[in-house]
Amino acid sequence: MSARLCGPLQVDGSLSRGQGSHPWISDSGVWYVQIWVLENCSPLLTVFGARRGTHTQKVPLAACVHVCLAHVSRVQLGPPRWISFLGHVTEVYLVHLHASVYALFHRLYGMYPCNFVSFLRSHYSMKENLETFEEVVKPMMEHVRIHPELVTGSKDHELDPRRWKRLETHDVVIECAKISLDPTEASYEDGYSVSHQISARFPHRSADVSASSYVDTQNSYGNATSTPYSTSRLTLNTPGQLPQTLSSPSTRLLAEPPQATLWSPSAVCGMTTPPTSPGNVPPDLSHPYSKVFGTTGGKGTPLGTPATSPPPAPPCHSDDCVHLSLPQATAPKKEERTDSARPCLHRQPHVPNDRGLEELHGGKGSVTLSDLPGFLGDLASEEDSIEKDKEEAAISKELSEITTADAEPLVPRGGFDSPFYRDSLPGCPRKTLSASSSTQGTSANPEPLNSSLDKSGPDTPKQAFTPIDLPCGGTGESPAGNRERQASLEASILTPSPCKIPPQRGVGFGSGQPPPYDHLFEVALPKTAHHFVSKKTEELLKKAKGSAEEDFTPSASPMEVLDRLIQQGADVHSKELNRLSLPSKSVDWTHFGGSPPSDEIRTLRNQLLLLHNQLLYERFKRQQHALRNRRLLRKVIRASALEEHNAAMKDQLKLQEKDIQIWKISLQKEQARYNQLQEQRDTVVTQLHSQIRQLQHDREEFYNQSQELQTKLEDCRNMIAELRVELKKANSKVCHTELLLSQVSQKLSNSESVQQQMEFLNRQLLVLGEVNELYLEQLQNKHSDTTKEVEMMKAAYRKELEKNRSHVLQQNQRLDTCQKRILELESHLAKKDHLLLEQKKYLEDVKLQARGQLQAAESRYEAQKRITQVFELEILDLYGKLEKDGLLKKLEEQKPEAAEAAEERLDYCQDGCSDSVTGHNEEAPGRNGETKPSRPGGARGGGGGGGRGGGSSSELSTPEKPPNPRAGPFSSRWETVVGEPTSGTPTTVGSLPSSESFLGMKARELFRNKSESQCDEDGLTVGSLSETLKTELGKDSGVEARAPLTLDGPLLPAPKPDSVGQLRIMDYNEAQLEHS
């Protein structure tokens, strides 16, 4: 795509022009076109990659690349062939071509490593292409790291548009730069930087080494990269200075591309262009140099200007070209360019001087690279920073040349290099010195080329720094540098110890550039950031002031050189006519046969166009960098904000720490207090414990005491109980004694009474005694003789008296006892009477009770009797029914006629019965009138008398019993015998069946008992029945008439006496009962 897109452009732009002007130059025109294409390719690639990644397709890309590479190779191989045709013009083209191819290579490799590598592999695996690979591709590959995508990515993945979507164009550029080992291209931002730098150095050396032979094309490369080299060197320095460099750029560091390279601001300022432009310029210069240099030096403006300055300088500077107006070259830029152009211009003029050294060039070109360390050392030793700067600038350029030159060892164009070298030298004011040094360097170089590599290890850093410094110094020293020494000082401060040059150089640049950029920055940067940056720089300045002095010397930067060259070329061009010198000079200077001036003019125009292209390219790049710079600035601002925030946080942290300390102190205090409190508490607790123990002890003591007291209490209780018992005993004793006392008192009373009696008796005795004495006196008086008798009598009397007395006593006692006994007995008697009464009452009660029960029982018994009567009646009824049924059946069997007769008889009989019953009913009251007053028992007796078989209850019925049993068999026999012949019997039988059987008699008896009236009626009915039977039987048969007689005969007379007897007995019994 890019190729396609670019294609029309070239065609539109220059190709037509080229072709139009020169038919045979068509080749060169084509190249030009291709160069053009390639130059535009890489930026476009990035643009397309970033913006429309989808459009980049493999095939067109590959084709494009292939074509380009092939052309390059052809060109590179071709020169021998083409040189004759093209002369120096082709070389100029070649330089451009190389540069552009190189750029394209980088882009392709950076963006599509897998595809690209595979393409390379496929394309250059063919033997025919091997050569081109060796010569063109391989050298380029040496400036490239292994792309990480080669490991991680794939072809398809590379083409994924999403990959680029997030990236801006400049991001893509930086991405590509990361891969590059080429200092001009490489990026130093990210993690790569260190290794990158280191690795970046190696390529240099290797390039140097290889570059020795490689001059022509190498130059172009070198030129392209030269400034980058310087920058790279700077970067190498920077590692040490990084902090400073970071801060420094803001002020005028912008002017210090070397240091600033790391620093985007410089790029932003447009500084990128200067460094690159010099890169571009030098090749141009170099080419011109070899041939054009002469022109430039001699006044090969046509060539020189187009080649070197045209792109950057002319447009800005002269503003002649219309298309130059396109690039938005601002005023500052112009100034820069003017500044940078000067040195270039300077160089150019100087170049011619050095031309003599052309031969050295080949060596030098190679040497310069390798010599760098040596140079650096030398330069460092030298006091003149300017020289150093110049030298280093030159060296850097040379290095770049060498690197590029590596590709073409075949071309023995040391001349190109040498002039270039001189160019660079001329850039510096004191070219001579530098030249000498360079010569020295060169002289030294060839040998150490290899050795320098070996040597490089330790020295490299220094050398690395120095070269950077040098250019810087050079630039700084350049006229522009004169303007501001202080700035240089500052710069020097910024680029501290390792290299004095860079600062100077920075100063150099800065002197020219700062003013223009400053206001830009003020716009671009927020004030804070500006302030911050300025502050930082001030600090750094203060720090570095001491060391700043040395870095003083200004040196022309490649930019300036380029600018000068361009300016010079312009001046020359303006002063002298085109036709005049340029061709001649160029012809003169170059070894090639002079080409017609008209051609030269064309070629020069072409070159101009090329340069313009280059300029556009670089401008584009600058823009990208500017973009990136802005972004980085934003980052810086953010970082500063973050730092401030950080500081604030730190303050806060400190405050918090203070707080924490305060808290800690208070915590300690609290802890101490707490401890105190705890101790207090412990002491209190221990006290309390001890108190508790004491109390417990006391309690136990009290407990023991209480127990003792309790035991005592119990003892006391026991005592009390015992005492009570004793008291009781005593009481009982007292009672006893009282009893005794009463007894005793009784006895006493008795004894008193006895005593009274005794006294009474004694008195009697006395009376009697007196009486006795009287009698005795009488006796004595009367019967003195009878004294004996009297005495005897007296004695007897006394004895008798005593006997009587004792008897009296006995009698008295007996009397008492008897009286007492009587009293007792009387009381007993009363009690017994009372008891008797009670007993009687109780007896009555019991009697009553018993009577009640008895009545109940009796009533029950009565009821039972009634029940049994009812039962019997029922049974009899049932029997009657049964027998009746049996007879009826028999009758029916034997004689139906008889049955009829029997029925008739039965009817008759019943009538008779009923008549008799009624008749006897009237008699009954009269007959039973005697028995009536009697109780049911009497009635029963009467009933028994009434009933023929009622002997069971009466004594008289017993003799009648025999007939009864007899009657049973008789009746049965009678029934059997009589029943058959006579049909009348059944009727009687029906009414009398029970009378014959024992049961019947019994039933009758009972029946009679049921009620007196009924009984009587029954009895009568029975009697009447028997009579009727008799009559009937008598009628029926005489034989059988006897049976009724026997039956009823004894029965009928019997009842009456029986009943009477019974009645009497019953009456008696009743009477007895009633009495009871």
Partner 1 sequence: MTEDSQRNFRSVYYEKVGFRGVEEKKSLEILLKDDRLDIEKLCTFSQRFPLPSMYRALVWKVLLGILPPHHESHVQVMTYRKEQYSDVLHALKVIRFVSDATPQSEVYLYMHRLESGKLPRSPSFPLEPEDEVFLAIAKAMEEMVEDSVDCYWITRCFVNQLNSKYRDTLPQLPKAFEQYLNLEDSRLLSHLKACCAVSTLPYELWFKKCFAGCLPESSLQRIWDKVVSGSCKILVFVAVEILLTFKIKVMALNSAEKITKFLENIPQDSSDAIVSKAIDLWHKHCGTPVHSA
d(CA 286, CA 300): 13
553: left (phi over 0), alpha (psi -120 to 50) or beta: beta
d(CA 971, CA 464): 183
Task: Check if the beta carbon of residue 211 is closer than 8 Å to that of residue 368.
Answer: no
Please state the closest distance from residue 1047 (CB atom) to partner 1, in A.
28
**Residue among 231, 225, 283, 255 nearest 562 (CA):** 283
Q: Which one, 782 or 881, has the nearer CB to partner 1? A: 881
Residue with tokens 């009635």: 939
Q: Which one, 644 or 877, has the nearer CB to partner 1? A: 877
Q: Which one, 198 or 873, has the nearer CB to partner 1? A: 873
Greatest Cα pair distance, the chain, in angstroms, is 254
Q: What angle (nearest 5°) sits at the alpha carbon of residue 24, between those of residues 22 and 29?
A: 70
Which pair of tokens denotes residue 743?
């007894």
Q: Which one, 718 or 855, has the nearer CB to partner 1? A: 855
Residues that bind partner 1 (CB under 8 A): 845, 848-849, 851-853, 855-857, 859-860, 862-864, 866-867, 869-871, 874, 1010-1011
Q: Which one, 593 or 933, has the nearer CB to partner 1? A: 933
Please state the closest distance from residue 873 (CB atom) to partner 1, in A.
8
Please state the closest distance from residue 857 (CB atom) to partner 1, in A.
6
Please state the closest distance from residue 826 (CB atom) to partner 1, in A.
32
Q: Which one, 810 or 868, has the nearer CB to partner 1? A: 868
Please state the closest distance from residue 861 (CB atom) to partner 1, in A.
9
Strand partners, 144: 180
Which pair of tokens denotes residue 443?
């002289």
Q: Which one, 688 or 857, has the nearer CB to partner 1? A: 857
Please state the closest distance from residue 1013 (CB atom) to partner 1, in A.
11
d(CA 557, CA 477): 8
Instruction: Give me the helices (H) in 895-935, please.
Output: 896-928
Q: Which one, 704 or 855, has the nearer CB to partner 1? A: 855
Task: Check if the beta carbon of residue 273 is closer than 8 Å to that of residue 524.
Answer: no
Task: Check if the beta carbon of residue 1039 is closer than 8 Å to that of residue 925.
Answer: no
Q: Which one, 712 or 860, has the nearer CB to partner 1? A: 860
d(CA 250, CA 242): 13
DSSP 3-state of 180: strand
Sequence-distant (≥ 6) Cβ neighbours of residue 254 within 8 angstroms? 260, 265, 266, 268, 269, 271, 509, 510, 513, 514, 517, 521
Other beta carbons within 10 angstroms of residue 124's beta carbon come to: 20
Please state the closest distance from residue 969 (CB atom) to partner 1, in A.
31
Please state the closest distance from residue 1008 (CB atom) to partner 1, in A.
11
Please state the closest distance from residue 725 (CB atom) to partner 1, in A.
45
Sequence-distant (≥ 6) Cβ neighbours of residue 420 within 8 angstroms? 219, 222, 223, 282, 285, 286, 289, 290, 293, 351, 361, 365, 397, 398, 401
Instruction: Give me the helices (H) in 11-57, please.
Output: 16-21, 26-51
Instruction: Give the length of the chain.
Output: 1076
Please state the closest distance from residue 807 (CB atom) to partner 1, in A.
60
Q: Which one, 752 or 874, has the nearer CB to partner 1? A: 874
Q: Which one, 899 or 1006, has the nearer CB to partner 1? A: 1006
d(CA 368, CA 229): 13
Q: Which one, 447 or 862, has the nearer CB to partner 1? A: 862
What is the DSSP code string of 705-774?
HHHHHHHHHHHHHHHHHHHHHHHHHHHHHHHHHHHHHHHHHHHHHHHHHHHHHHHHHHHHHHHHHHHHHH
Please state the closest distance from residue 998 (CB atom) to partner 1, in A.
22
Alpha-carbon Rg for the chain, nearest whole angstrom, is: 89
Please state the closest distance from residue 1040 (CB atom) to partner 1, in A.
33
Task: Check if the beta carbon of residue 235 is closer than 8 Å to that of residue 184.
Answer: no
Please state the closest distance from residue 1004 (CB atom) to partner 1, in A.
15
Q: Which one, 804 or 849, has the nearer CB to partner 1? A: 849
Q: Which one, 498 or 936, has the nearer CB to partner 1? A: 936
Which pair of tokens denotes residue 206?
């290797």
Q: Which one, 263 or 1007, has the nearer CB to partner 1? A: 1007
Crossing angle for the helix pair 527-548 and 514-524, to the nearest 10 degrees: 150
Please state the closest distance from residue 1059 (CB atom) to partner 1, in A.
20
Separation in Å, CA 869 to CA 260, 339, 976, 1005 = 160, 176, 30, 10
Please state the closest distance from residue 874 (CB atom) to partner 1, in A.
5
